[in-house]
Chains A and B, each alone.
Chain A
Amino acid sequence: SQQGEEDPQALSIQEGENATMNCSYKTSINNLQWYRQNSGRGLVHLILIRSNEREKHSGRLRVTLDTSKKSSSLLITASRAADTASYFCALGRSNYQLIWGAGTKLIIKP
């Protein structure tokens, strides 16, 4: 399959803990993007990491990319109840289309 495969499918942690989600893929990519979707809403772009980058930070978010293993991880530190959402990885190819993973549903328990 060319699509991104995310694990875990669901993750439930206590507020304040760190949450880690992983994305593996099989195709070549130009970049890998992470998006967040609150229930019943559209998606919000979080971070884009290019294929020649290994790590990127944005606030409490840290994304790593290992092109040799064809995997990426999204780490959310010091999680908050408001981080509860579904998180999707998307593979950016040479054209403008994205190939989407199935998503990880993250629940932060207060």
Chain B
Amino acid sequence: GAVVSQHPSRVICKSGTSVKIECRSLDFQATTMFWYRQFPKKSLMLMATSNEGSKATYEQGVEKDKFLINHASLTLSTLTVTSAHPEDSSFYICSASDGTGNSPLHFGNGTRLTVT
């Protein structure tokens, strides 16, 4: 149980275009979802926290107008990278929580974004 599906796994796009990444909890209701960015050989960098039906909370230094997060239902959150730039190329991972602070997070398999 507790499966999180993230799609697409890989995407290549041209500079200036927008890319949408979906994160779905398949067998549980995700009250909170987290979006991370991971640089090569580095740890996870939290970008934002989203709760169903409310605006996402962005971490310091993350541009909310560039990384649009929507958490429209208890099973789906989306991250849209707008006006993509080569520096946005990275590994993006979502995770979902089904409970309180003592619950483990369930992760998607990540999306490798390459902006050319």
A31-B102, A98-B105, A103-B43 known; A41 and B110 CB under 8 Å? Answer: yes
Residue tally, chain A, CB below 8 Å to B: 27
Chain A, residue nearest B2 (CB): A45
In the assembled complex, which residues on chain B have CB atoms less than 8 Å from the CB atom of A93?
101
CB distance from B72 to the nearest CB of A (A): 20
Q: How large is the interface on B (under 10, 10 to 19, 20 to 34, 35 or more residues)?
A: 20 to 34
Distance in angstroms between the alpha carbons of A88 and B112 in the assembled complex: 20
Complex Cα distance, B46 from A30, in Å, reads: 19
Complex CA gap A42/B107 in Å reads: 6
Q: Which residue of B lies closest to A33 (CB)?
A: B104
Which segment of B11-19, B76-84, B90-98 sits at the interface? B90-98
Q: A50 interface residue, CB < 8 Å from B?
A: yes
Task: Judge whether B104 and A48 touch: CB under 8 Å.
Answer: yes
| Contact between chains at B107 and A43 (CB < 8 Å) | yes
Contact yes or no, A30 B106, CB < 8 A = no
Q: How far is the CA of A50 from the CA of B91 in the complex (A)?
A: 30
A103 to B101, CA, bound (A): 21
Contact mask for chain A residues 29-44; partner B; CB cutoff 8 A; 1 contact, 0 none: 0110101000011111
Given A44-B107, A102-B43, 15 other A-B residues pairs in contact with their CB atoms under 8 A? A35-B107, A40-B112, A42-B4, A42-B110, A43-B44, A43-B93, A43-B95, A43-B107, A45-B105, A45-B107, A48-B102, A94-B101, A97-B34, A97-B49, A101-B43
